[in-house]
Amino acid sequence: MKKSSNGKEKKTETEMKDMAEKEELKSEEESKEEKLSPEAKIKILEEEIEKIKKEKDDVYDKYLRKLAEFDNYRKRIEKEKSEFQEFLLGEFIKELIPFFDNFEIALKNKEFEEKEGFRKGVELIFKSLKDTFFKMGLVEINDVGKEFDPFIHEAISKEESTEVKIPVVEDVFHKGYSFRNRLLRPCIVKVKIPKEEKALNINLQEEEEKIN
């Protein structure tokens, strides 16, 4: 920058030229706006309004998507929390199952028959305890006479019989329990299964009937 004799800065020729060009462009734009018809000006304003409206809609759409994502996240957290609480409750009940067994064994004791009042008291406590858990979703599995199901039954003894065509639960040693569709303990059972000889005879008879 060059300085005058009085110490003030002088603008260079290039700076003066740039300023002149800017002023000229500004003057041309203002001149163009003045020459526009009212209809053209209205159209420009409408285009600006439409642009702003679109930007507003985009922002609102993004807001709704974020709101939906947060709602889904909240529901997932609540579901996981509920499932975890249900799992813990199931584990707690599972720990009580041996006490159920002990109650049943004690009630079958012949000494209890001589103490009717005491026996009824124990039965009442046991029933009240189980009813409380039944209301929560506990289900007792005691399937004597029903078809053997390996998913809920555990066979520790079996007996062949000509009276059955499919495996059937003959006796229950320990009741099974499930809690809200989750198996806590399988039913410990004795199974009656079809006798192999009879099954073989049935198959031979069916084959003969097909031939005839």
CA distances 145 to 75, 123, 173, 192, 194, Å, are: 44, 26, 13, 9, 14
Q: What confidence tier does 115 reach under pLDDT thresholds 50, 70, 90?
A: confident
Q: CB neighbours of 174 closer than 8 A, spacing ≥ 6?
A: 101, 185, 187, 188
Q: Is the pLDDT of residue 211 over 60?
A: no
**pLDDT (tens digit per residue) in 163-209:** 889 999 999 999 999 999 999 999 999 999 998 754 445 444 555 56
Tell me, what amino acid is at 73?
Answer: Y
Q: Which residues pair with 171 in a beta bridge?
A: 190
Q: What is the pTM of this model?
A: 0.61
Q: Is the pLDDT of residue 22 over 80?
A: no
Lowest mean pLDDT among 76-85, 86-95, 202-211: 202-211
**Rounded Cα distance, 194 and 164, in Å:** 5
Mean pLDDT estimate for the chain? 82
Lowest mean pLDDT among 31-40, 53-62, 120-129, 159-168: 31-40
What percentage of the chain carries pLDDT values higher than 90? 45
**pLDDT (tens digit per residue) in 54-81:** 888 899 899 999 999 999 999 999 999 9
